[in-house]
Amino acid sequence: MKYIVLAETYSELERIPSKLKKTEIIAKLFKETPANLLEAVTLLIQGRVFPSWSEKEIGVAEQLMIKAIAKSAGVSAEDVVKDYKKSGDLGLAVETLVGKKRQRTLGSEQLTVGKVFANLQAISEHSGGGSQDRKLDLIAELLSQATATEAKYIVRTVLEQLRVGVAEGLVRDAVASAYNVPVDDVENAWNLLPDFGEVAKAAKEGGEKGLKKFKLRLGTPFIVQLAEKSPSLKDAIESYKKVLLEYKYDGMRTLIHKKGEKVWLFTRNLENITAAFPDLVQLARKNIKADDCVLDGETIGLDRKTGKPVPFQQLSTRIKRKYDIEKSVEEIPIDVNLFDIVYLDGKNLMELTLEERKKCLAKSIHSVSGKFHVAEGLVTTDLKEADAFYKEALKAGEEGVIVKDLNALYVPGRRVAGGWLKVKPVMENLDVVIVGGTWGTGKRAGTIGSLHLAIRDAESGKFLECGMMGTGLKEKTQSERSSAAPRAKGATESEQDGSVTLKEMTKLLKPLVEHEAGSLVKFKPKIVIEVAYEEIQKSPTYISGFALRFPRFIRLRPDKSADEADTIERVKTLYGQQKGKK
Ligand code: AMP
């Protein structure tokens, strides 16, 4: 299969915004792809060379890419940089440079998908002394055989900047359409083995039946079960007949796969964190009695001195650590709270009830208090008892409770299955001021990409930053999307109901620009918005000393001036009220 087929598909995908059309284009590509190239094509179409859960990465910096382009186009690095500066995209730079230099000479060999994929994978194999030269050769070899269009996409793939708008959902739908199988079957198979190469191959060769045969595989992460929000503890415990309440720990979802002495660790985002947590690997090796199993749980970080849980933010510094891992092990000790088992010695336990799985879990581990044990839980349907347990969880510094149906099976997948309900204290919304932001890039250039939020210091009258928010705003107004909603005479839609589109927000902010540096921009503090958030955290990053975790846009507050925004005092009070704080 020629790489130009893929490159032309990218071009098409870039031009076409419609998801439906994109799905058709990708489905057509999959149909043309032979089984032995499905792994390569399903990854490359997403701009990947390895699945998201692989520990391998290409790891090529811009500087090296500039050298590779210069070498293959026969120009100087300065020439490449000059072109790069014009467009801000090395993909476009190489397209121009290769385009100038040559048309493909007749008879010269055309790049194949297999060759491109092999070279890109090989790039990650090289590390240490002399590796840069070898990486450069692998890229330059491809670029020197590529047409201008091919070169553009090779460069973007290597730099992990493909951006043709192909998310997992599109690939899933395209697999279903290409091989005429139900989307749900594709999704279910992918939940167990999130690798579209394998899923597509099974669909191509075995249809629905092939997909139904999918099993969890030791050493490959699956898509974990998630909890749904419940409006109240009462609602939650009334939802099931047999109820188990568990602490909702504020930590890192941890999937432990064990096969004999070999242990792998994954997060809920399929990240492989085995190397970053040697202490956890050790605990698992020592305290899991079963030979082969997969355990599900939440790991929290502990304060070395007090032994109390530290905020997730602190533990998360361990996730990305590549160096000084031993030091971080000492600095932030961990406590692993296990709450499920989904695989045991060759058997898939997802089809057992939680009650049965809990029995298997208890039998499969040695409990080590404060380090590696079953999560704190209580079986009850009595609201008073449940409430006391909930309060105990908050007092212990945890986020709340998860209420679980003891009769439910384990259902992997991003769509919520209903067997787990989370109950957390509801945080009151805050009215904050927009004081800065960043401009979007690519298609979103010229619109605001993220917003810097601030609260008011009543004493000094200053606005102190307390968080950043991806705008979460809709691209179009309701009336642009469908039939126009009736609107009060003279009022814009946003003024009427506080909703606002990205375009409208940009228009509101543009006249307020005070200062710009690159894509960063400062605004005069004028616009007040109401935001919801998950939690208030102490933070050294923001001048207010607090950070709103996961702020979400609720509505504009055109009725409020900046002087009426919420104050730092209010944030302090809310912070104090939120759980028995750490
Ligand atoms: P949220 O992140 O608020 O959607 O809550 C879901 C997350 O809570 C899960 O992904 C887990 O990481 C975490 N969690 C903490 N404790 C538990 C527990 N006992 N059972 C299940 N999930 C838990």
The CATH fold of domain 3-158: DNA ligase i, domain 1 (1.10.3260)
The amino acid at 435? V
If you take atom 22 of ligand 1, which residue's CA is the nearest one? 248
User: pLDDT tens, 110-156?
Assistant: 999 999 999 999 998 877 777 888 999 999 999 999 999 999 999 99
Q: What was the pLDDT predicted at 396?
A: 86
Task: State the distance from the centre of ligand 1 to the C-alpha of 225, rounded, in angstroms.
Answer: 9
Among 69-78, 436-445, 457-466, 553-562, name the one with the lowest average pLDDT: 436-445
Please give the Cα distance from 173 to 195 (Å, whole number): 14
Q: Quote helix, strand, coil % in the chain, to nearest 5.
A: 40, 20, 35
Q: What was the pLDDT predicted at 323?
A: 86
For residue 343, which of 292, 419, 305 has the smallest C-alpha distance?
292
Please give the Cα distance from 420 to 398 (Å, whole number): 17
459: DSSP letter:
T
Please give the Cα distance from 50 to 53 (Å, whole number): 8
Taking the domain 228-423, which CATH number applies?
3.30.470.30
User: pLDDT tens, 23-60?
Assistant: 999 999 999 999 999 999 999 999 999 998 888 888 89
Q: Which two tokens stand for residue 404?
A: 């679980």
pLDDT band, residue 490 (cuts 50/70/90): very low
- Return the sign of the alpha-carbon dihedral for residues 205, 207, 213, 219: positive
Number of neighbours of residue 95 by Cβ within 10 angstroms: 23
Task: State the distance from the centre of ligand 1 to the C-alpha of 249, rounded, in angstroms.
Answer: 7
If you take atom 1 of ligand 1, which residue's CA is the nearest one? 227
Please give the Cα distance from 253 to 268 (Å, whole number): 6
pLDDT band, residue 103 (cuts 50/70/90): low
Q: Which two tokens stand for residue 434?
A: 């927009």
Choice from 224, 298, 341, 420 to test ligand 1 binding pocket (greatest atom count within 8 A of CB): 298
| CA-based max dimension of the chain | 81
Catalytic residues: 248
Q: Which residue has the tokens 């749904």?
A: 228
Q: Choose between 61 and 475: higher pLDDT.
A: 61
Q: What was the pLDDT predicted at 37?
A: 96
Task: State the distance from the centre of ligand 1 to the C-alpha of 426, rounded, in angstroms.
Answer: 16
Domain segments of the chain as ranges: 3-158, 228-423, 430-580
For residue 70, which of 142, 162, 140 has the smallest C-alpha distance?
140
CA geometry: angle at 13 spanning 11 and 15, to 5°? Answer: 70
**What's phi and psi for 467, nearest 5 deg?**
160, 170
Atom of ligand 1 nearest to the CA of 534: 3
If you take atom 14 of ligand 1, which residue's CA is the nearest one? 248
Atom of ligand 1 nearest to the CA of 420: 21
Choice from 374, 402, 534 to test ligand 1 binding pocket (greatest atom count within 8 A of CB): 402
Q: Which residue has the tokens 């279903």?
A: 176
Look at residue 493 and tell me whether its pLDDT is greater than 50: no
β-partners of residue 254 are 297
Please give the Cα distance from 354 to 364 (Å, whole number): 15
CA distances from 158 to 36, 74, 117, 405 (A): 22, 20, 11, 46
Look at residue 441 and tell me whether its pLDDT is greater than 80: no
CA distances from 489 to 483, 486, 492 (A): 17, 9, 9
Q: What was the pLDDT predicted at 477?
A: 52
Decide if 162 contacts 47 (C-beta within 8 A).
yes
User: pLDDT tens, 284-319?
Assistant: 999 999 999 999 999 999 999 999 888 887 898 998
Choice from 246, 253, 376 to test ligand 1 binding pocket (greatest atom count within 8 A of CB): 253
Q: What torsion do the CA atoms of 321, 327, 331, 337 make, to the nearest 10 degrees?
A: 60
What would the DSSP string read from start to end of 274-337?
TTT-HHHHHHHHHHB-SSEEEEEEEEEEB-TTT-PBPPHHHHHHHHS--S-HHHHHHHS-EEEE
Task: State the distance from the centre of ligand 1 to the C-alpha of 408, rounded, in angstroms.
Answer: 17
Atom of ligand 1 nearest to the CA of 225: 10
Q: Choose between 369 and 579: higher pLDDT.
A: 369
Q: What was the pLDDT predicted at 494?
A: 46
pTM of the model: 0.76
Over pLDDT 90: what percentage of the chain?
Answer: 69
Q: Is the CB of 402 under 6 A from ligand 1?
A: yes
Q: What was the pLDDT predicted at 108?
A: 65
Task: State the distance from the centre of ligand 1 to the C-alpha of 398, rounded, in angstroms.
Answer: 11
Among 163-172, 221-230, 261-270, 484-493, name the one with the lowest average pLDDT: 484-493
If you take atom 11 of ligand 1, which residue's CA is the nearest one? 253
Q: Which two tokens stand for residue 270?
A: 């399929």
Alpha helices in 378-452 (DSSP H): 383-395
Q: Is domain 430-580 given the CATH code 3.40.1190.10 in the classification?
A: no
pLDDT band, residue 101 (cuts 50/70/90): low
